[in-house]
Amino acid sequence: MKIFNTESGKKEEFVPQNPEHVTMYVCGPTVYNHSHIGNFRPPVVFDVLARLLRREFPKLTYARNITDIDDKINAAAAEAGVDISVISEKYTAAYHRDLATLGVLPTDVEPKVTEHVEQIHTMIQELIDAGHAYAAEGHVLFSVSSYADYGSLSKRDPEELLAGARVDVAAYKKDAGDFVLWKPSADEQPGWDSPWGRGRPGWHIECSAMAETHLGDTIDIHGGGTDLVFPHHENERAQSVCAHSGKQYVRYWMHNGFLSFNAEKMSKSLGNVLLVKDLAEKVPGEVIRYVLLSAHYRAPLDWNDDVLTQARNSLDRLYGALRTVTSLDASQQDHIPDAFMAALHDDLNTPKALAELFALAKQLNTSTDHETSQQLKSALLQAGELLGLLQHDADAWFAGDQSEADAATIDQLITERLQARADKDWGRADEIRDQLTAMNVVLEDGADGTKWRIDSSDANLSSSK
């Protein structure tokens, strides 16, 4: 398996530190508000990677954190007049609902910052003891100049960084590039007692401490959005390497590209933020997931009003192929085609992998041999599972969210129409079909009976709000 490593700028063969136990850490959300669709690209992309790793290695420990202490959470809590836990728990729950909508499997560990304050203290102390950090006016700062390799992950020259810095440099900083590990809290702000006074963790130390706690000093894969390369991951790396006597922190850094909306940055100020819960009212979560996997994870992905419709229609084709085989013989065999695996092994090339799914669908649609069809359906389901797609019952997929009562009515009408057709009473048959069309039901007559589906084509999938 090859993985593009941000640190080297190349695709590298993936060799875990311990082939018996692979470790992966992905930066999770700060739970102060709803995450938008762009925020879900990493969980979905790394969910596919986790599925792949679990298939190919005996053990994977995958951690994705919840940042539940942050100034934005503080602000939201203060405004609502509640404890920060009220805010963070509310939006953690929302985050979990959205993950479930998108078919993202739970991680092995979901560490919360507020549950790791002790470990954060320990790590800060280690950094101070080793001369990489210093306390000043209630703050503890990491001394960037103490880590010679600083900047090499994000390919930045520390000198230029400082020259271009547009922030006000606090007087207590020895060096303008130094970043905070611990900062003081005012009395009304949430805080924890510490050797450096009451305060709260800085923005980067939490991930270092949580990764260390759950995955050890060196982790195999660390993922996140490309915007996190600097400063977040650069700083994480500096902290962890320095706290661990120079030991490597991450073997493979992976960063996903950004999602834009109609070629504009998705941001609250532009009013173009798309929420999973809103999209899920229009389409199944699987359609949203399909869109997120339809572009390579490192490439930019532009969301526009057509992508959901296209994804919906594409999935219809795959489910349509699955529906040609009504039952599946029990089979433990692995039928996933090599080309599909090769695509995923090539730096998680999900668009190529999807193309292989369509190749399977075409074979399935043209197959006349029972045995072959069974294998093809099995292959499609197994390959789909690796992508987190195609796991619904095909009939249920096409039935949409019709109630059972409706389904019963539809079946009743279809039975009547079949009789009319048997009697060659085309007028009556078409009358019934028109009736069903009015119910948004499309019929498909086949050799083995009549299937139906809910017409989603003119359902308003426009994603603008």
Partner RNA sequence: GGCUGGGUGGCAGAGUGGUUAUGCAGCGGCCUGCAAAGCCGUGGACACCGGUUCGACUCCGGUCCUAGCCUCCA
Residues 374-413 contacting RNA, CB under 7 A: none
Q: Which stretch binds RNA (CB under 7 A): 51-59, 103-111, 118-126, 437-445?
A: 437-445
Task: Rule CB under 7 A: say whether 434 interacts with RNA.
Answer: no
- CA dist., res. 199 & res. 187, Å (int): 9
Task: Rule CB under 7 A: say whether 270 interacts with RNA.
Answer: no
- CA dist., res. 104 & res. 298, Å (int): 19
**C-alpha distance from residue 170 to each of 101, 178, 400 (Å):** 44, 10, 57
Q: Is 104 within 8 Å of 388 (Cβ atoms)? A: yes
Q: Which amino acid is at 303?
A: W
Strand-pairing partners, residue 135, are: 140
Q: Can the peptide bond before residue 106 be classed as cis, meaning omega within 30 degrees of 0?
A: no
* Interacting residues of 203 by C-beta distance below 8 A, sequence separation 6+: 70, 179, 180, 232
Task: Rule CB under 7 A: say whether 271 interacts with RNA.
Answer: no
- CA dist., res. 376 & res. 365, Å (int): 10
Residues in the chain, overall count: 465
Output the smallest distance, CB 320 to RNA, in A.
Answer: 5
Q: Which residue has the tokens 């985050």?
A: 95
Output the smallest distance, CB 227 to RNA, in A.
Answer: 4
Task: Rule CB under 7 A: say whether 225 interacts with RNA.
Answer: yes
Task: Rule CB under 7 A: say whether 444 interacts with RNA.
Answer: yes
Output the smallest distance, CB 21 to RNA, in A.
Answer: 25
Q: Which of 44, 66, 238, 301 touches RNA (CB under 7 A)? A: 301
Question: Residues 240 to 259: which contact RNA by CB under 7 A?
Answer: 256-259
Question: Residues 8 to 47: which contact RNA by CB under 7 A?
Answer: 9, 27, 29-30, 35-36, 38-39, 41-42
- CA dist., res. 215 & res. 132, Å (int): 23
Output the smallest distance, CB 271 to RNA, in A.
Answer: 14
Question: Residues 66 to 105: which contact RNA by CB under 7 A?
Answer: 70, 72
Q: Is 102 within 8 Å of 44 (Cβ atoms)? A: yes
Q: Which stretch binds RNA (CB under 7 A): 81-89, 289-297, 329-337, 374-382?
A: 289-297
Question: Residues 205 to 224: which contact RNA by CB under 7 A?
Answer: 224
Output the smallest distance, CB 332 to RNA, in A.
Answer: 28
Q: Which residue has the tokens 């210093």?
A: 134
Output the smallest distance, CB 263 to RNA, in A.
Answer: 6
The helix-helix angle for 307-323 and 350-366 (nearest 10°) equals 40
Give the pairing type, strands 22-26 and 10-13.
Answer: unpaired
Q: Residue 254 is encoded by which pair of tokens? A: 């992976």
Output the smallest distance, CB 264 to RNA, in A.
Answer: 6
Q: Which amino acid is at 247?
A: K
Q: Is 4 within 8 Å of 254 (Cβ atoms)? A: yes
Three-state SS for 66? strand
Q: Which stretch binds RNA (CB under 7 A): 80-88, 127-135, 172-180, 330-338?
A: 172-180
| Comparison of 89 and 430: residue with beta carbon closer to RNA | 430
Output the smallest distance, CB 59 to RNA, in A.
Answer: 26
Task: Rule CB under 7 A: say whether 422 interacts with RNA.
Answer: no
| Comparison of 3 and 295: residue with beta carbon closer to RNA | 295
Question: Residues 120 to 159: which contact RNA by CB under 7 A?
Answer: 144, 154-157
Question: Residues 337 to 376: which contact RNA by CB under 7 A?
Answer: 346, 349, 351-352, 354-355, 358-359, 361-362, 365-366
Task: Rule CB under 7 A: say whether 176 interacts with RNA.
Answer: yes
Q: Which of 111, 199, 320, 337 touches RNA (CB under 7 A)? A: 320
**How many residues form the binding site for RNA (CB under 7 A)?**
88
Output the smallest distance, CB 439 to RNA, in A.
Answer: 15
Task: Rule CB under 7 A: say whether 165 interacts with RNA.
Answer: yes
Q: Which residue has the tokens 């619904």?
A: 392
| Comparison of 19 and 426: residue with beta carbon closer to RNA | 426
Strand runs labelled E in 131-286: 133-136, 139-142, 179-184, 199-201, 219-225, 250-256, 259-261, 264-265
Output the smallest distance, CB 11 to RNA, in A.
Answer: 10
Output the smallest distance, CB 139 to RNA, in A.
Answer: 12
How does DSSP classify residue 229?
A: I
Q: Is 69 within 8 Å of 32 (Cβ atoms)? A: no
Task: Rule CB under 7 A: say whether 114 interacts with RNA.
Answer: no
